[in-house]
Structure 1
Amino acid sequence: MDASFEPPERPGTLSSLLRWTVACAAMPPLLLPALALGPLRPSSSDALMRTWCLWARRVFGVDVDVVDHNEGGYDDGAPYVFLQLNQTSLSEAFVTTAALPRWALIFMNIEFAALPFIGWVPVSQGSVVVVRQWSAQARRAVDRAADAMRRGACFYMSIEGRRSPDGALGPYKKGAAVLAIRSGARIVPMVFHGARDVLPFGEWRVRPGRVRVELLPAIETEGLSYADRDALVERLRVLAQSQGLGRPPG
C-alpha cells in the first residue's frame, strides 16, 4: 500500500458494540437455515452465508474491490484451488465471499471450524477440517479434499494456515501444492490489501474501510508430480513477494 496511507480511525467502544450486535443479530435467521441446508443443498446454504457476509460488510462499513486477472474465465466443473497468499485479519471471514468467483469448499483449521456459524456452516457443506498439529489427520484431510476435487469441487484455503500478527508472510505450508498437484487443479492465487487495516490482529473493533482483493492469473499444475511440490511452494512465495506482501527478502 502507499507509504502515506493511514488506517481509518478506530471506532469507539459503544459504536463497535452496536455494530457487532446488529451484525450478529442476523446470524440466527440466516445462518441457522444455512447450517441445516448445508448437507442437503450446499449452494443454497452458501447463498445464505454470502447474504450474511454482505450484511456484515454493510454494517461495519467495509467495501470490497475485486480485481480478477483471469477475467472470469473459469471452466465449469473444473477444480480450482483459490489460494490466499497472505492471511492477516479475521475480517477476511466476511470479505472473501465477495471475491470468490465460484462457490468453494474451505480447507480450514480446527480453530476456524469452531467459530459459531461462520465456521460451522462450511463444515455442514462438506468443507474439510485439518488439525495441523496431527500429521496423520492432516494427510487424511488432504486425501478427502483431493477426492472431492476429482469430482469437480473447488477449495478455498490459506497457504499460511494462520493469521500473521504483523503483516509479514508466515511459513508457507505444502498442503495446498500437494492438493492441487494430486487433483490436477489450477491454483488461483489471491492477495488481500487493506484487510489488516480494517481489523488489525488482536483487535475486535472493525474500522470502516476498503479492502482490495486480487485474483492473480491461474497457475496450471497439470504434468507436475509430488516431487515438484517444493518448487511450486517457492514459486508462490516469490509471487507473493512480487505483489509487495510481507517483508522484502533479507
Structure 2
Amino acid sequence: MKASRFQALVIILKNIFITFWISVIVIYRAYRNAYSRRHCDQLLHWWSSKLLEFVNLSYEVFNPNGVRFEPNRRYVIMSNHSSLYDIPLTFMALPGSIRMLTKKELFEVPIWGRGMAAGEFISIDRNNRRQAFRDLQEARKKMESGIILWVAPEGTRSRTGKLGPFKKGGFMLALQTGATIVPVGIRGANEVLPAKTTDLHVGCHAEFHVGRPIDTSRYSKKQINELMEEVENQIRELAALPR
C-alpha cells in the first residue's frame, strides 16, 4: 500500500532520528574508549528492526543449507542490492558482526559517516585505485578480527531491479583472505521504495534466500571470473532474477 505524503514524511523523519541517535552513541563510546563490538551489533539489530517496523515490512528467511558463521573463519556475504532496505534485512536475517563495505562518499555525511567509521564499517574509494587497495587491506584486517563483510558485488544499488555487472574488488578480497562467500538473494524489498521514485510503500513482504557457501580456497586468482560467475548464478537464482 502506498503511503500518504504525511505518512511517508513521518517515516523518513523517524529513520533520520534513529540513525542519528545510534551514530551519536557509537561516536561517544568510541571517543570514551568504551566501544564494544557486541554493543554495536545490538544497536544495529535494534536500528534494523525499527526501520522495518516503520514501513511494516515483514520477511521470511530461507536457509536450506543451514548456513552458520563459524568462529575463526572469514566470510563475505554477497547479495543483489536494489533497495535501501536490503541492509537492515541482512542485519536482521543473519547473526554475527556484519558490517558493510561501502563507498567512501557515505562516510562524508555528517554524524552518520563518523558513526559508521566508529562502528567498524569499511569505506572504499572507487575513484582512486591505490586508496582502494589500502581500503581492501583494512577490510582484510577487520575480517581477520571477526567482522563478517557484506558486499554488493554490483558496486552500488541497482536502479532497475536487475542484476548489474559485478565488480572484482570484493572477489579479490575474498580470494586474498581465503574467505567463504555466502550468496544471498533478496526478493520484494525493492517494492518498499521503487528505484527512481519517492513513492514509499508500507505492508510489503520480502524474502531473504541464503545460498550455498563457496569456499574461495578452491579458486586461484586466475580463476576469479569463474568464481564471479558461480556467485552470480546463485544470486540470480536466489533472487529470481532473469538473465
Normalised to the residue count of structure 2, the TM-score between the two structures is 0.88
User: Secondary structure of the residue that 2:66 maps to in structure 1?
Assistant: coil
Residue of structure 2 in register with 1:76 after alignment: 71
Asked if 1:164 is matched to 2:162, the reply is: no
User: Secondary structure of the residue that 2:195 maps to in structure 1?
Assistant: coil
Gaps of 5+ in 2: none
> Residue 194 of structure 1 is aligned with which of 188, 197, 204?
188
Q: Any residues of structure 2 matched to 1:147-226 within 5 Å, and which? A: 147-208=141-202, 209-226=204-221
Equivalent residues of 2:181, 2:214 under 8 A apart: yes
Residue-pair matches, total: 239
Asked if 1:237 is matched to 2:232, the reply is: yes
Report the Cα distance in structure 2 between the residues aligned to 1:242 and 1:132, rounded to whole angstroms: 28
> Residue 145 of structure 1 is aligned with which of 109, 119, 139?
139
Output the amino acid matched with 1:176. G
Output the amino acid matched with 1:105. R
Q: Any residues of structure 2 matched to 1:9-48 within 5 Å, and which? A: 9-37=1-29, 40-48=35-43
Instruction: Judging by fraction of residues, say which structure has more helix.
Output: 2
User: Secondary structure of the residue that 2:207 maps to in structure 1?
Assistant: strand
Report the Cα distance in structure 1 between the residues aligned to 2:23 and 2:63, rounded to whole angstroms: 28
Equivalent residues of 1:34, 1:49 under 8 A apart: no
Distance 1:242 1:24, change over 3 A: closer
> Residue 105 of structure 1 is aligned with which of 99, 104, 107?
99
Gaps of 5+ in 1: 1-8
Report the Cα distance in structure 1 between the residues aligned to 2:116 and 2:4, rounded to whole angstroms: 32
CA offsets per residue over residues 118-156 of structure 1, 9 Å max, x none?
A: 654332122220111222211221222123323443211
Calculate the aligned-residue CA RMSD, in Å. 2.2
Report the Cα distance in structure 2 between the residues aligned to 1:153 and 1:32, rounded to whole angstroms: 21
User: Secondary structure of the residue that 2:10 maps to in structure 1?
Assistant: helix
Deviates more, 1:219-228 or 1:238-247: 238-247
Output the amino acid matched with 1:68. N
Report the Cα distance in structure 1 between the residues aligned to 2:176 and 2:92, rounded to whole angstroms: 28
Residue of structure 2 in register with 1:50 after alignment: 45
Distance 1:102 1:168, change over 3 A: same
Report the Cα distance in structure 2 between the residues aligned to 1:101 and 1:140, rounded to whole angstroms: 28
User: Secondary structure of the residue that 1:201 maps to in structure 2?
Assistant: coil
Deviates more, 1:164-173 or 1:94-103: 94-103
Report the Cα distance in structure 2 between the residues aligned to 1:244 and 1:91, rounded to whole angstroms: 15
User: Secondary structure of the residue that 1:170 maps to in structure 2?
Assistant: coil
Report the Cα distance in structure 1 between the residues aligned to 2:17 and 2:122, rounded to whole angstroms: 27
Identity of aligned residues (%): 22
Q: Any residues of structure 2 matched to 1:81-96 within 5 Å, and which? A: 81-84=76-79, 86-96=80-90
